[in-house]
Structure 1
């Protein structure tokens, strides 16, 4: 049996589900793009190729092995993009929450069923159909759960809006003892530089009481200020519009002292090191073209 335990983003990682880029399928048509960044690269002819993405995930896996993390991988589905395991499910405390994802991604959840079978069934839940929620929008901060959402009345028109208020309410009901705080995120179907696809595209706690944040990713300044007041402005690394586009907030913590980051994030990586963290750099620029990065490729199961 797997005894789940995840209370935050930074405690020492012991077990994780890491996505795979093998048999990723052909380059999608423009009509099949789930987000504006993928669409941009499909149109430009720069959409990533499988061999490059396989190498990038291998580099990430090597770091997990270096730190003795138990790695689970999804079962392989032919011609299916299975990189972003964060979308399909997530763990809060000792509860495994299946996400209500875009319907044509349901088979990705089936590919991790062998892992779910090793979890106490009473600890596996799925939101009702009307409650949309994806793991990239769910951020744990000990007694807090931060949830990215989109409150616009045109929610249903946005394929980039992945978590609705019914999803937020589901988490509130499931964890009555936690402070569940939602954040209204900026969405765009056409301009990736103005699209916070998930909360982890514009915010993430790291290290000991620090965080990475993109102020313009929040539709309401009060949501941004909530995090500034909680964490402290001096503890937050503010990223630029281009850094948000390149997914600087989507790094991944193995512990409070070790962060896996993209090798081109020069300004961020320098700041992390200046703040006493070990930065394990990996090449991930090809995968980033699909509007997802290191956090998106992982589903932590156990942290100390």
Structure 2
């Protein structure tokens, strides 16, 4: 009798931000490494907390991530975690990879973070080889800048000629043009984001730091995150002003737009986002509230720590 080993192929499916979630990668904070020196920080908010002596403790971040893992368990979502690399920050799974339809893209991230990619090889290898995409080296892109909304792909970028001077500029036009070749049937809309290496109140690290759709037709938006007011107005018109929750500079800093949808009626949100959570609940959403304020000190929140693989 002959035995045949069949390689399990994961059938990826991501077409929007809010369809029922079935499978996800959730970041991990175990063995997270020492507090970085200010010059080694990838974003101004982390740098600020290092300088102030308020950088998050590993134990607190582990606890916060486990709160989210329990919510996923409650909703029967399959959860993958990165393999632990000793003394290495692996919290923000969205930065290193993203899925569009049935294809998974390895992000061309900051060179210092390349090892994070190896830690999700057990996920990457389950995908059909033809659907595993690594873009050319000149294509800079991170998952927080890529947002799917049915026939649209929304992408955050920075169009300034001084792009190379900003460690906070993570997605360039070369990457956007490359995605156009993979998805000619999609409408790709890109947004010029405000960047700062030193001021977290005036820095949209990724598109999801100043904008995110929720439900079927709602959105959270921070106007000042967009360098071009026309981009902000376009989103306001697209969703309709009555469907938009506008957040102020402090709420943007606290990461109010960086919540995460389990389905069209259910979101995971930070417990301290009182104004936002009230708005969502008044609209009929179920809001699963978690503590995530320590992780937020690194300029990322719920969407940044999650990498959806399959939605219905």
Does 1:169 find its partner at 2:177? yes
RMSD over aligned CA atoms reads: 0.5
Does 1:74 find its partner at 2:77? no
Q: Determine the C-alpha separation between the residues in 2 that align with 1:226 and 1:98.
A: 29
Does 1:46 find its partner at 2:69? no
Does 1:292 find its partner at 2:300? yes
Does 1:249 find its partner at 2:257? yes
Aligned to 1:153: 161
Q: Determine the C-alpha separation between the residues in 2 that align with 1:29 and 1:221.
A: 35
Q: Which of the residues 123, 127, 134 maps onto 1:115? A: 123
SS at match of 1:177: coil
SS at match of 1:181: strand
Does 1:210 find its partner at 2:244? no
Deviations 1:75-122 (A, max 9, x none): 110011000000001000000011000011011001001111111000
Deviations 1:133-179 (A, max 9, x none): 00000000000000000001000000000001111111111111000
Q: Which of the residues 177, 182, 192 maps onto 1:184? A: 192
Aligned to 1:36: 44
Q: Determine the C-alpha separation between the residues in 1 that align with 2:19 and 2:99.
A: 14
Pairwise CA distance, 1:297 = 0.3
SS at match of 2:304: helix
Aligned to 1:258: 266
Deviations 1:189-241 (A, max 9, x none): 11100000000000000012001000110011111111111111110000000
Q: Which of the residues 191, 196, 202 maps onto 2:204? A: 196
Aligned to 2:4: none
Aligned to 2:139: 131
SS at match of 1:180: strand
Deviations 1:232-283 (A, max 9, x none): 1110000000000000000000000000000000000000001110000000
Give every structure 1 segment of 4 or more consecutive aligned residues whose post-TM-superposition deviation is greater than 6 Å. none
Aligned to 2:231: 223
Q: Which of the residues 20, 24, 29 maps onto 1:21? A: 29
Report the TM-score, using the length of structure 2 for normalisation: 0.97
Q: Determine the C-alpha separation between the residues in 2 that align with 1:88 and 1:300.
A: 12
Aligned to 2:276: 268
| Bigger Cα Rg | 2
Aligned to 1:92: 100
Q: Determine the C-alpha separation between the residues in 2 that align with 1:274 and 1:49.
A: 34
SS at match of 1:148: strand
**Unaligned segments of structure 2, at least 5 residues:** 1-8
Aligned to 1:140: 148
Q: Determine the C-alpha separation between the residues in 2 that align with 1:197 and 1:31.
A: 17
SS at match of 1:296: coil
Deviations 1:25-67 (A, max 9, x none): 0000111100000000000000001000000000000000000
Does 1:240 find its partner at 2:237? no
